Every structure is written in C-alpha cells, then in structure tokens.
Structure 1
Amino acid sequence: MNRNIYVIFLSLAFCLIACRQHPHIQSLLQEAETLMGSRPDSSLILLESIPSPEKLSEEDYATWCLLITQARDKNYVEHTSDSVIGVAVRYFEKENNPKYYAKALYYQGRIYQDLGNVEKATSFFINSLDVGKRSSDYLQLFLTSSRLGTLYARFNVQKKAMVAYHDALQYALASQDSSSISYGYSYMGRAYSLLEEWEQSLSFYEKALFISTQIKDLQATELAMNEYVAVCANADRFDKIADYVDKLLEIKQDGGDKAGNLERLYFTIGDLFRHIGRNDESVLYLKKALLSDNLYTLAGSCQSLYFLYEELEQYENAVRYNNKYWEYADSIQKMENNKAIMEIETKYNHEKIQKENLQLRLKNVWIACGGTLGLLAALGFVFTMVKIFRRRLKDKEKFISDLEEQLEELKEESLFILSKMERNHSEVLDLSEQLEKIRQEYNKVKDEKEILKQSDGDFRIKQESLSQQLKEKADKITQIEKAQSMFIYENKKLEKKNLDLKEMIGSLQKNIFVLIEKKNLDKHNVVSFALLIKMRNEKKNLRDEEWKELFIIVNLLHENFVDRLLISFPKLKNEDLKLCCLTKLQFTNEEISSFLCIQEESVIKRKQRFKSKIGDPENWGKGGFDVYIASF
C-alpha cells in the first residue's frame, strides 16, 4: 500500500515539474530564431544549451524541435531521424499555424532527402508549398520552391523544374531580398540550360551576376558564375566571360562577411582566366588556390592547370598536375567512401543509444508497475529491436547497392579506356605506314631533284616544282610525327588512369565484401528474432519467403549447412532441404508434420526414404536420420 502511494506521489510531482512555466525559454527561442539567418552556428549552440527540452510546455517544445532541426540543417549536420521534427509538424498542424507548419513540413522533406527517400521528400515539399501559400513568408516559399526545382532538375524532369524555379523567382521578387533574387535568376538560368536554350539561360545568369556583384555576395556570384561558365562553354560564348572576372576581383578586394573562401575564389578566377585565354593570370591565381586545405579546391585547381599546360603543349607540367589531380581525386573518393561508412556507423550508434535508453525506461516501468507491465514492455522492446535491426539492414543494403553500381561504372570506364587505347594504338600503326610511304615518296622526289641538278638549265622550272613537293612532303612528315606523339602521350595518360581505376575497383570490392559480411551478421540477428520466435509459437506451414529465410538461418547457425548438403547431394529437392533444416533445428516429428502439412507417419517415411538419396550410411538404425543430420 505504501509503495503504491509513493508511486502516485512521484507521478504527481513529475506532472507538476513538467507543467512549470519557463518564461526565460521563450526569449531564448526568439533569440535563436533571430540569429538563424546570419549566425546559424550561434543559434545551434543556444538551442543545444536548453536542458531537457521535452519538459517544456507543448508550444515551446514544438518550437524548439522546429528550430533545432533548422539550425542543424543550416550547419550542414546530416539528418538521421524525423522523430524530432515530427513533434513540430503534428503540433503546428493542430494549432493551424500555416507559417510554422509550412516550415516544419519543409524540414521534414529535407530529412527524407538526406535519408535518400526522394519520393517522400518531394511530397513534403509540395505539402509545404500548399500550406505556405496561406502565409506571407515569401523567403520560405522561395526556399521550398527552389529545393523542389533542384530535385526535379536532378532527375531531368525539365518542365516541372522550370515551373518550380519560376515560382521560386516570383517569391524571391516578392520578398525583395537581393540575395534570394540573385539565386532565383540563377535557377531560371539553370532551368533554360536543361532545355539547351543557351541565350535565354545566359540572359538570366547575367541578371543574377549583376545583382550579386552589386551587393558583393560572393556565394551567389560564385554559383551564378560557375554555371554561367558551363553554359558559355556549351554555347561557345567564352567572349562573354571576360567582363565578370574583374568584378570578382573587386569583390575579393572588398572582402566582408560574404567574401567566402579565398582559395576557392582564386580557383574560380584562375579557371575563368583560362577559359578566356589569359594564361599568365590563370597560372598565378590557380597556384594561389593550391594553398587551400580543401581537397575539392585542390583537385579542381590541378585539373585546370593540367588543361592549361596541355593547351600550351608544356607536357611535362601537364603530366605533373594531372598526376596530382588523380592523387587528390583518389583521396576524395576514399574520403567519401569513409564518410558513407561512418554515416552508417553513426546511425548504428545512434540506434544503439536509443535502444539502451529504451531498456532503461523499460526497467523503470517494470519497477513501478509490476511484473505484468514489465513483461509487456519486454515484448515491445523485442519488436522494437527487430525493427531497428531491419532498418539498419535496409540502410546497409542500399549502401552496398550504391557501391556495386559505382563499381560497375568504374569497370565500364576501364573497358572504355582499354578500347580507346587499342584504337589509339591502331591509329599509331596506320600513321607509321603513312609515314613510311611519304618518306619513300620524299626520297624519290629528292633523287629526282639531284638528277635534274646535273642536267641543263632548261629544267629549272621542274626543279622548283620538285623543291615545292619536297617541302610539302616534309611538312606532312612533321604533322604525322606530331600526331603519333599525341596518340602515344594520350595512351600514357590512359594507362595511368586505368591503373588508378583498377586500384579504386579493388578498394571498392574489398569494402563491398566487408559490408556484405556485416550485413549477413545483421540479417542473422533479424531473422533469428523474427522467424524462429514465430515458429516456436505457431506450428503452421511457412510462406515461400519464410522458407528461404529459414535456410539462411540454418546456414548462419550451422556453418553453411544447407550449402554443404547441396554440394554433397546435388539431387536433393526443396522438400528434402526443408525436412533436413527442421530436423537440424531439433523440431519433433509432430512439429515437422505441422510445418510441412503432412501426417506424422509421412514424416517418418520421408526420413526413411532419405537413405536412397544419400546412400546407406553406417549404423543407420532406428533414429539414424536425426543422428546423421545432427552430426553432418
């Protein structure tokens, strides 16, 4: 009795504490929201400093959930779960607050985009737009429309991308925010470039560049300039780039909060100089960019220097920077592979912590509520753990699938390189034949000219003609030798690239093997919890997919038992394998008859007939089948 009173008292105390008002929290949340645009890192620190936010009032907690998700997104923190933003979505939908509800839907879409579920992400962005139209938050509408346009552009859905980017520009104009307007014009330029309408595209990029250079927003300028250069390249309009290089240099000199990464800016300027033929200035800025500690900037700068020196026919420098480019590219590939693996491990650790917290809560419920509730909580924990394992397994399978696709692409690229090398080799041989033929002609003309020298002066005109022929043959020989050198040089580059590809392929294959091994261990945990518990509780026939799952379980538990059986006795049928697996798992004849939907006597007869399929083992006797299978 005293124990029950104590539990009730604790529950009431907890409710009173949870319902306490936190007047200072609202001002802190407002400050975090104010800092979100200019200082998202400070906003995140403020929000994370709030202890036990789940104990706040319902409104404050929902606001905190929305703001913490927004701050993490702006600080490029990878989203791994939608549980936090889900609180905000449900609350602001209930409160009929279109501004915050639209924002919550947008960030739920961002989370699903990070998790790779493009379908759900698109759905939430569309819902966010529908709700947001009831508010006057034009910046949020611009953000959502542009994100939706980028998704459509990524999957080459050109008409929908055009509509979404057009809407984004209209919202940016309504907001009167110069940076957003610049981005909006850049997005329209991107939409027209997808349709290969180059002049329209260039027109919008020029508007974007005019605004971004006026307000000295380097990030908006870099976006517009980089895509502008790509469109100029496709449209063969490099003459249009030169005017903007000096503007970039002016922004760099002015600096300020929007100046961005200096080495990245040097790379952009150097690459632009390369495209417009200002080679000395290009080399100067690209070498400044090589002082960066960013691998992507370093790789891009080396690649630009390689292209530049190759155009200048300074092949020694070209090869040196090409080798550096592939070193940085290899480091980037390894970093991205490690990052992907670390993301899986982070998700796993996060789920592990969630599981441990759940265990602790279940233990407290057991103490407070007694044995019955504790048993129910334990069952809930088992199914939750199965769900966690299945989700982790699904993530790993997707990652392995992505790696395998990447592996196939690398293999195809390697085959293409080998094919191109073969064609180059064939071209070299053809050129060698041409060269030999022209040299013979050259020698013949030369001999003829020598003969004419010894003749009378009446043949002077013919001698001049032969001299001209000699010059043409010599020029042709020089051209062929140069072409041969170029093909040989290209083959050397291709050989280097192919070696790098083979190394990457080997690394990927190793990673895939390790991940598959880990995935199989996880699969073992999942199936052993789900299927075996079901079989112990329900003695009935299994579905086809469940029989396949059972074969996996037996393989994992008993050292590839099913595979070894098929290797030793390839004539075994599927029904024979079912009987062997059930026996290996020590089910009785009565239980086996339930799983196979036959009489118990039929089970015994099947076991006896098994002799003829595997030969008559020594000491078969009564119960010999069970003993044989147990020891196999």
Structure 2
Amino acid sequence: MNRQIRFILFLFIVSLTACQKQSHILPLLQEAETLMDSRPDSSLCLLESVQSPENLSAAEYATWCLLVTQARDKNYVEHTSDSMIGVAVRYFEKQKDPHRKAQAYYCQGRVLSDLDLEEEALEAYLNAKEQVAQTPDFNLRARINNHLGSLYWKNMNQRESIVYYKEAYQAYTNDSDTAGMVNTLCNVGKSLHGLNLLDSAFIYYEKALQLANEGHAQGQRGTILTSLGNISEERGEYTTALEYYRGALESTDNPKFLDTEYYNLGDIYHVLGKNDSALFYIEKILGSENVFIQCNANRLLYQLAKESRAYDSAFMYNETYLQLRDSIEHVYRPQELERVKALYNKERVESRHYRQMQEDRIRIFVLIILVLASLIVGTFIYSYFNKKLSLQRLRNQEAQKMLDENRRQLSVKNKELSDNNVKLEMAQQSLCHIQEEKDCLVRERNEQVHILKEDNRKQQAEYERKLEEIETQWQEAIGEKEKILHEKDVLINQKDLLLSQRDQRLSSMSKNEKQYKEQIGILTDEQQKTKQEMETLCLEMERLRSEKEMQLQQELKSKEEFSSLCKMYETWQKELIGQNSCLFRIQERLILDIWKDQDWKVFMDNFDQVYPGFIRRLTDCFNLTDREIQIICLTKLGLKTGKIACVLGLGEDMTRRIKSGIRKRCFPTLTTLSLDKIIRNWY
C-alpha cells in the first residue's frame, strides 16, 4: 500500500514539473499569431511543433486550438472535426474579450461550413458578427460578413446575401483592402446575376474591374472579365462578350483557368458563326484534365461537325460526349473514397490522441480506486451479462414469432399477387379491344372529315359565285338609278323650257284673249302630264330603293352563313391538326430550332395531309419562291412571326418585310387586311 502511495506522489510531482516546463509556450503562441496573416504556413509549423498541448493551461490550450484552426483555414486545409475549435469556443465564451470571442466564432463557422453543417455555421457567424461589432477589427468584420453572404447565396437567398456582401465591402473600404473590395464587389454582382438583374450586376463587375486595375489586382481581373462576358452573352451582345473573353484570356496567369477561357471563346465564336475560330480554341482543351471541360468541348465539337455536315466526326464527338457525361459521377469516386478514408483516419488519430490525453489525466485516480472497484465491477459485470443474456433470449423468441408472422403474410401476399396478375391480363385484353374500337372510330371520323371538307369546298365555291352575281346585280341597279336620275334632270330642264315658252307666249298673246286661253289650256295639260311623269319617277325610285335594301339584307344573310361555314371549317382544321402529331407539336412548342431540309420535307408532307391541294393552288395562282411558300404554310398553320423567324433562321423584321411583300404582290386590293387574316380565309 505504501508503494502505491509513493508511486502516486511521484506521478503528481512529475505532472507539476511538466506544467512548469510549458511556461515557455506563450511567446511561441504570440509569434505564431504575428505570422498568421503574412506567413500562415510558418505559423502552422510553429503551432504543430508544440508537444502535448493538452498539458497546457486552459487559456493557453484554448488559444493554441484557436490559432491552429485559424492557421489550417488560411493554409486551405480542409477541416474534418469541430472538437478542437469547440475547446476554444467553450473557453472564450466565458471570457470578456469580444475580439477573441469573434475570432473563435468565426473559426467555428469556417469549420462547420467545411463539415456541411450550414445552419450551425450560420449561427456561429452571426455570433461572431455580434462580437466583432464591439472591436475595431474591420478585416475580421469584412470576412465574417463575406462568409455570411456566401452561405445565403449557397442557399439561393440572393437578396439577403447582397446585404451582407455590401457590409463586407464597407468594412474592406474602412480597412483600405483593395483585394477584399474587389472580391466583395464581384460577390454582389454574382448575387444580382442570380436574381437576373443583369444591368445592376454589370455595373458592380465594372466597378470591381476598375478597382482591380487601379490596385494592380491582376489575379482577379480575369475572373471579372469572364463574368462580364457571361452577362454580355446573356444580353445577346456577342461581340462585347467576345472582347471580354479575350481580355480574360490575356489576364489569366493560372494554367488551371485557361481551359475555361478557351471554352468560353470557342462557344462565343460558335454563336457568332465563326466556326473555324471556335474549332481552333475548342481543340486546345480536348486534352484538359477537367472532365467537365472535356464533356462540354465534345458537345460543342459535335455541333460544329454537324453544321459542317461532317457526320462521321459528329458521331464520334457525340459518342465521346455521352461517355464523358455518363462517367462524370464515377470518375472521381475512387478519389472520393480515398478522401473519406483519409478524413476518417485523421479523425481516428485525433480521437485516439484525445483519449490518450484523458487517460493520462485520470490514470492516477484509476490506480487509487482500482483495487476497491474491481470487486464491485466484477459483481456488476456478472449481473449485467446475466441480465443481457436473459434479454437476448426474450428478443430471440420475439424475433422468431415475427419471422413466423412475416412468412404467413408473405404467403398471403403471394396469393394476392397471383390474383392481381390474372386481373392484369384480363385488363390488358380489354384494353387491346378498346384500342381496336378506337382505331376504327378514328378511321370513320377521318372519312367523315374528308367528306365534309369536300362539301365545304363546293359550298364555298357556290357562295363565291353567288356573291359575284349579287355584286353584278348591285352594279346594274346603280347604273339604272343613275340613268333614271339623268332622265329626271332632262324632264326638269324641259319643264323649265316649257314654262319660259309659256311666259313668252302669254306676253305675245296678250292681244288675243281667245288664243291666250287656248295656249293656257295646252300648257296646263302639259303641266299635268309633267306632274304625272314626276310622280311615276318618284314611285320608280322608291321601288328601286326597296329592292336594293332587300338585296343588301340577302347579301348580309349570305355573309353570315358563309362566316358560320368558315368557323365550322376552322374547327375541322383544328381537329385535323390535333390528330397530326407533327403539326400539333409545332403549334404547341414555345421555342423552335432552325429547320433543315429533312425537317421541311416532313413538315410539307404533314401539311399537305391537313390542307390537301393548298400548296398546288398557291403555286398555280401566284409566282412564289420556296421561302415565301414556307412562310405562307407556317402562317396558315397559325404560327406567329417570331416562331417563323426562328424556324427560318431570320430576324423578325426581315420576316415581316417578306410577309408584307407577299401581301402587296399577291393581294394588292386587300390593303386593310394583314397577310395572316388573308391566308387564314384563303383556300
């Protein structure tokens, strides 16, 4: 017993001596913190040179944990555990040093971010933001806000991220950190870009570019120019985007980013139609180590080869693209497994180190109570295992019962499954029968539609003939009316002449009363005849007016009947288009690609099925080019000018000018109607 007490005292004295020997650690920690910003790798080496840091005092050990975490973060060492930074956080939370608290919370946020614990990381950064507000450390304040913005941006909350990025920019401005200001301006532009506010994002990137040029931050200039090129490309300003991509290539010093710049140049040259230049840049990245770049490059080469009709090369590039796309998820799997294994081994070593540290601290107490506790532990172990065995027997019995019940339920399910299979076969037979009846009904309906189309065409021709006859009759009635009015004017002139003659005669026959009375009687008779003729002319004009009104009513009625027939014809045409899958897809799609010759052939065949004889009649009546016939057919189908322009690969203004030329040349009299309405009603 005396020997054990002496041994315990000896260990206690040794531990006190070891604690005293650690008093030299404080200058080392101060030197490591001094080198943290300028030479983080040297700082990490100094900190890792400390032997048994767990034997330090609580303050020194917490400071050591904080500085090691900070040094690893600055050396881009991925964090795999939060146990070390947890020691620092738990210690400094109890202290009244807001700067140390802010540093501890910030490092905790960095560790939790690497561990993909975003909610916990967000809480840590917010605590750090609250503490750093009480200190003059603008650089730390900027980094905290920058990482808060990155967390919100990662979670697609761009509006909240912009608020924190702007606070980070203000802090970097107060700290006169040009590189930090450029970085935060780029982050604000990135968030605005995510909100599709292209103009605002463009302004922030331009401001970042100006600061980068003034501060000689060439390392960030290439990234900024690439982002400006992306925004310009989305705006459709392809020439401007090309200039930015060229500038980014000239400013890129890191070989890892050259492949991205080459791909951007190749893609923009392809959009501009400069396929040779696009091919020149894309071929440079075929040997890239980045599988994603290779995949996109082969996809673009496939499009270039297809456009140049090099179908063998297009097939080869497409096959390579498909293989790379299918294997992207598997290419890095061995490396991922090795990384996970390395992280696990590292975590296990740290855990073992921590356990060893705890064992060293409690070994003295374990040796004192070991003898007394052995009997108690033995009794407890015996009772524990005895109870555990009894519980295991009960669990085995319950498991056996559950296994029997599962077997019974499995037999019931198998029987139900066989019944369901029989029902499924019967349902399939009935479905086949229904499908045959449906096909029969569709054929009958198509025949009826064809008959109705023929009847409609004949009735339309008959109504056109009747309209021509009504117009002819209307012209004749107008001519007769003009002739009657002319005769009326002649009679009125004659009446005036007779009255003048009557006056002359009255004056000349004033001497001969008898002759005067005779002349008066004659003139009176003539006047009565003239009045009768006038009344007859008025009755005739009234009759012509009533006949004209009746003709107009008949014409309106004919037009209404013709309009109803046209509506019925349009309904039939919509049903026929709905049955034709090719034309129906063309109508329903919002965006169409440029058609090739094969696409036009398929479209014309399907169009002629729905509108039989339309193209033949169009070419018989008018002298049109192939493009004009294609535009008229797409207009007849109901496509808007924007879709027609996409299909032909033309601008909307050019397409409108072509349509206007067709209307002026082929339908010069219908100046008040658009070509769409004319073609829709023309057969």
TM-score (normalizing by structure 1): 0.55
Quote the residue 1:579 is aligned against: none
In the alignment, is residue 13 of structure 1 matched against residue 14 of structure 2?
A: yes
- Which residue matches 2:289? 293
Match of 2:604 among 395, 418, 434: 434
- RMSD over aligned Cα atoms: 4.7
**Structure 1: distance between partners of 2:346 and 2:62:** 22
Distance change in 2, residues 1:114/1:50 (3 Å)? same
Partner SS state of residue 77, structure 1: coil
Separation of aligned partners in 1, 2:374 and 2:231:
65
Structure 2 distance, partners of 1:326, 1:317, is 14
Q: Determine the structure 1 residue equivalent to 2:114.
A: 114
Rounded to whole Å, the distance in 1 between the matches of 2:25 and 2:40 is: 21
Amino acid at match of 2:81: S
- Distance (Å, rounded) in 2 between the aligned partners of 1:309 and 1:139: 52
The separation in 2 between residues aligned to 1:39 and 1:53, in whole angstroms, is: 22
* Structure-2 change in CA distance of 1:165 and 1:477 (3 Å): same
Letter of the aligned partner of 1:370 in structure 2?
A: L
1:11-50 alignment to 2 at 5 Å?
A: 11-21=12-22, 23=24, 26-27=27-28, 30-31=31-32, 34=35, 36-37=36-37, 40-41=40-41, 43-50=43-50
Cα deviation, residue 123, structure 1: 0.7
The residue identity in structure 2 corresponding to 1:11 is: F
Q: Does 1:196 align with 2:199?
A: no
User: In the alignment, what sits opposite 2:132?
Assistant: 132
Aligned to 1:210: 210
Q: 1:72 is paired with a residue of what secondary structure? A: helix
1:356–1:152 distance in 2 versus 1, CA, 3 Å:
closer
Residues 355-394 of structure 1 mapped to structure 2, 5 A cutoff: 362=359, 365=363, 366-367=366-367, 369-371=369-371
Alignment of 1:110-509 (within 5 A): 110-215=110-215, 217=217, 219-252=219-252, 255=253, 261-268=257-264, 270-271=266-267, 279-306=275-302, 317=313, 319-335=315-331, 337=333, 345-346=341-342, 348-350=344-346, 352-353=348-349, 362=359, 365=363, 366-367=366-367, 369-371=369-371, 432=602, 434-435=604-605, 438=608, 465=622, 468=624
**1:44, 1:68 within 8 Å by CA — same for their partners in 2?**
yes
Q: Give me the whole-angstrom Cα distance separating, in 2, the residues matched to 1:74 and 1:330.
A: 36
Is the alpha carbon distance of 1:245 and 1:157 closer, same or farther for their aligned partners in structure 2, counting shifts above 3 Å? closer
Aligned to 1:4: 5
Max Rg structure: 2
Report deviation, 1:375: 9.8
- Give the AA of the match of 1:283: L
Shift of residue 470, structure 1, vs aligned partner: 6.9
**Rounded Cα–Cα distance in structure 2 between residues aligned with 1:374 and 1:322:** 73
- Using the TM superposition, give the Cα deviation of residue 94 of structure 1 relative to its aligned residue in structure 2, in angstroms: 4.2
Give, in whole Å, the separation in 2 of the partners of 1:423 and 1:12.
Answer: 93
Shift, 1:112, TM fit = 1.9
CA separation of 1:436 and 1:241: change in aligned 2, threshold 3 A? closer
- The verdict on how the C-alpha distance between 1:318 and 1:79 changes in structure 2, with shifts beyond 3 A counting, is farther
Alignment of 1:575-594 (within 5 A): none
The CA deviation string for residues 190-245 of structure 1, in whole angstroms up to 9 with x for no partner, is 23234332211110011112333555545533443444344334443444424433
Letter in 1 for 2:604: Q
CA deviation digits over 1:158-205, x for unaligned, max 9? 432221111111112122122111111112212323433221111001
Would the alpha carbon gap of residues 470 and 263 (structure 1) be closer, same or farther in structure 2, given more than 3 Å must change?
closer
Equivalence map 1:532-547=2 (5 Å) = none
Query: What is the percentage of aligned positions where both structures have the same residue?
Result: 27
Instruction: Name the CA distance, whole Å, in 1 between partners of 2:243 and 2:228.
Output: 12
Change (3 A) 1:315 1:52: farther
The answer (yes or no) to whether the contact 1:80–1:347 under 8 Å persists in 2 is yes
AA aligned to 1:334 is: H
Q: Which amino acid aligns with 2:52?
A: S
Q: Which moved more, 1:23-32 or 1:86-95?
A: 23-32
Task: Assess, with a 3 A threshold, how the Cα gap between structure 1 residues 288 and 153 changes in structure 2: closer, same or farther.
Answer: same
* Deviation by residue 1:507-530 (Cα, 9 ceiling, x = unmatched): xxxxxxxxxxxxxxxxxxxxxxxx
- Structure 1 residue runs of 5 or longer lacking an equivalent are 383-421, 450-461, 488-632
Q: Secondary structure at 1:201's aligned position in 2? A: helix
- Residues 269/20 of structure 1: CA separation in 2 closer, same or farther (3 Å cut): farther
* Whole-angstrom CA distance in 1 between matches of 2:277 and 2:599: 40
Alignment partners' CA distance in 2, 1:38 and 1:294 = 32
- The normalised TM-score by structure 2 is 0.51
**Offset, 1:317:** 4.8
Partner of 1:196, secondary structure, is coil
Partner residue, 1:54: 54
| Structure 1 pair 127–5 and aligned structure 2 pair: CA distance change class (3 A) | same
Partner SS state of residue 21, structure 2: coil
CA apart distance, 1:435: 2.1
User: 2:104 — aligned with what?
Assistant: 104
Report the CA distance shift for 1:209/1:122 in structure 2 as closer, same or farther (over 3 A): same
What is the deviation of 1:49?
3.8
Structure-to-structure mapping, 1:595-610, within 5 angstroms:
none
For residue 163 of structure 1, give the secondary structure of its aligned residue in structure 2: helix
Map 1:497-576 → 2, pairs under 5 A: none
**What is the aligned partner in structure 1 of residue 467 from structure 2?**
none
Render the CA deviation track for 1:316-338: whole Å, top value 9, x for unaligned.
55554444344444443125555
Aligned partners of 2:150 and 2:4: how far apart in 1? 60
Q: CA deviation at 1:131?
A: 1.1
Cα 1:311–1:16 change in 2 (3 A) is farther
Question: What are the superposed Cα offsets for residues 535-590 of structure 1, whole Å, 9 maximum, x if unpaired?
Answer: xxxxxxxxxxxxxxxxxxxxxxxxxxxxxxxxxxxxxxxxxxxxxxxxxxxxxxxx
- Return closer, same or farther for 1:355/1:32 CA change in 2, 3 Å cut-off: closer
Deviations 1:1-56 (A, max 9, x none): 1212212221221232133246477347635753x556655554444344333334
How far apart are residue 71 of structure 1 and its match? 3.2
One-letter amino acid of the counterpart of residue 298, structure 1: Q
